[in-house]
Each structure stands twice: as C-alpha cells, then as structure tokens.
Amino acid sequence: MGANDHIDDDLQLYRDMLIRCLEKEVLPHADKWEKDGWMPREVWHTLGAAGMLAPDMPEEYGAAGAPFEVSLMILEETCRLGLHALSTGFNVHANIVAPYVNNLGTAEQKAHWLPKLISGEAIGSIGMTEPGAGSDLAGMRTTAVRDGDHYVINGSKTFITNGLHCGLLILAAKTDTTRGAKGISLFLVDANLPGFTKGKGIEKIGQHSSDTAELFFDNLRVPAKALLGEENKGFIYLMQELPRERVGIGSQAIGACAGAMALTVDYVNQRKAFGQRLSEFQNTRFKLAELEAEIELNKAYLRQCIGRFKVGAMTTQEASILKLKSTELQVKVTDTCLQMFGGYGYTQEYPISRFYLDARVQTIYAGTSEIMKEVIARGLLDKR
C-alpha cells in the first residue's frame, strides 16, 4: 500500500460527494444563473452543508481536516464541468480567505470566522485591487489610520470576487503612507459594519454568474483586534500566501482544459464534413494530440508544485511559472477547441463558448501573464 493511497481514497470520496451535490444543486440551474448574471446566496449554504467549503481547514472549526489535494480537486472538477464562475468564488473563499485566517489569525479571529466560512454563513473576499492600483500594490490608496482602539479606513476596491455576497473581507490598506508596499496592513473586516458600502455588480465578458463588485469605505471603523497579523507586514503576508492561490488557479486551468477537450472530442467524433467525421481529418487529430501533450506536461508540473507546496518548498518563481503556463494553455486550448466547432462554437447554445469566455480572465487576475514573466525573470536574472 503506497504512502499516498489514503489521499487517493479521500479524493475519490470527496469527488463523488462533490459531483452528486453539483448535479443536484448547481448544474440544473447553472445556465439560468449565467443568463441572470447572479448566483443565489443559498448555494453557499448548500455547499457548506455538504462539506465542500474549505474542507482542508482544521476539524475543530467544523471542517473535515481533509488533505490539501481535496480543495484543489474541487477547483479542478468545477471547472471541468464548466462551472468556472462558481470555481472562482470557491478559490477566493476557500483557497485564499480561509487559509489567510487559519495561518495568520489569532485564536479569537479563527474561532470567530472559520466556522462561518466553513458553513457558508459568511462568504469570504479579499480586497487588494483598486481602480488605480492592480498588480502595483505600492500604488494602493486605501488607508487605515489608528484612532484609539480602532482603525478608520477610507478608500475603495474594485474587481472584488464575492464582493456582493461578502460577509468577511480581508482588506489591504496603507497604515504607513510613506513606505509604499512596506506600509500595507491586512484587516478582517465585517462587511456589515457602518461605512462599508457595496457598489453594483460588474458586468464581465465571461463568468457572468460570478459575483464581482466595487467596494467603498467611508470612515469605516474597525476594531484594532481586526488587524490580521502585524501592522505594516501585509505585503509580506500577501507574498507568502500567493503561491497557494496560484496552485489553485493552475488546478482550475487543468480542469477547464479537460472539460473543453472532452466536449471537443465528443463533437468531432459525431460531426461530419465532406463525407467523413471531423475526427478523421489529420488537422483535427494533430491539433488535439498537441493539446493533450501540453495538458499532460502541465499536469505533471502542477503535481510537482503541489508536492513542493505541501512541504513549504515551493518558490514564488515556481508558482509564477505554473500560473503563467497553465492559464496561457487554458486560453489556447479553449480557443483551439472552439475553432473545431465552427459557427456552432460561437453560439451560446454550445458550452464550449462559455469555456472560451470564462478562460480569458485567468491570464489577468492573481497577477497578469506579464507580471508572472517579470517575477520569473527576476528570479533568473537578478540574483545576487
């Protein structure tokens, strides 16, 4: 019996549970949610009750204490099934917010927030991006000024996933405006506090049912005990936690590639042109073969990164390579697959069009491809 056999068993158990839950509670409604541009709040309660929210968090807070791979499997499978909007919400809530609280929070903070995140009572968001500051965190303008036993926060955030449903926001703000990125701190902000305003949802070209919003803070007073970690160390914490986010996005990309390929293989085996199936044309066969080879190579690198992440050995450069190559591949795969559907691929009737549109943002959020290349180059060229 291998050392990882129990992980494989856990993965299969959770995969079966997840698929049953999605088939019953999500897939029958997904098309309507995409058309409406909205996913009901109740979905989170349902998924929480099914144990699908942050299953790898500690059991003492109501989670299953499952292996890290289970959380990644949820991201991969939801994307394979074409539920990228839901998967993006998962990634932020369970793969980013919950680990931040668990890794950086005080005993009081963890006891208060983790059970709510695990059950779905509170949905998690992270507020970094601003209208004038995306990847450039040093340009952040949101401020948090200490006032007795509170901080007073003013500013705004944009493109915030889960922003409208948000119950807990991990907010990045400047506590020292003279130090650039080194003056950033993180706060656990209850979205129900006075001075916290949610703008209207942002309409996007893809992931339509993903809740994305602007958030505004007008003299928002948060207790000093809401500080996550130490003051002015927010940038360090963000850099520490980014690798897990990028492993999650890599898992999403691989899942989406698998889903797009399955749709396309089925289509080309049925569709005929010039008296033969599309799958019999050499162009079709060679293009799909090339994509499959690239997917398998990316899967191997993803597995390597997961192994290194679990022992604390994964570097920022490795995380950036994974994010760059897996998301660029996702865009390539969905584009190539859509082309094989011809005119049908350009219609909303065929799911491949959603795979195509949902893929595009993957090379943008959590660090653009250009930023990933810069990080990789720094690790390669700027060593001292």
For residue 251, report the phi and psi dihedrals to the nearest 5 degrees: -65, -40
Contacts of range 261-265, beta carbons closer than 8 Å, 24 or more positions apart? 261/288, 261/291, 261/292, 261/295, 261/333, 261/337, 262/80, 263/337, 263/350, 263/351, 263/352, 263/355, 264/288, 264/337, 264/340, 264/341, 264/352
pLDDT tens digits along 152-180: 999 999 999 999 999 999 999 999 999 99
pLDDT by residue (tens digit) across 73-86?
A: 999 999 999 999 99
Residue that has been written with the tokens 């022992």 in this structure = 311
Label residue 194 exposed, middle or buried (CB < 10 Å: 0-12, 13-18, 19+).
Answer: exposed
Per-residue pLDDT, averaged over 182-209, amounts to 96
Strand partners of residue 201: 213
- Give pLDDT, residue 292: 98
pLDDT at 2 over 90: no
Contact 125, 161 (CB under 8 A): yes
User: Considering the entire predicted model, what is its pTM?
Assistant: 0.94
> Mean pLDDT of all residues in the chain?
94
Over residues 131-141, mean pLDDT:
80
Q: What is the pLDDT of residues 337-358, one digit of tens each?
A: 999 999 999 999 999 999 999 9
Residue 222, number of CB atoms within 10 A of its CB: 22
The DSSP element (H or E) to which 150 belongs, if any, is: strand 150-161
Q: Is 245 a catalytic residue?
A: yes
Q: Catalytic pick from 34, 69, 245, 328? A: 245
Domains, the chain, with CATH or none: 5-121 (1.10.540.10), 125-231 (2.40.110.10), 235-381 (1.20.140.10)
- pLDDT, mean of residues 259-288: 97
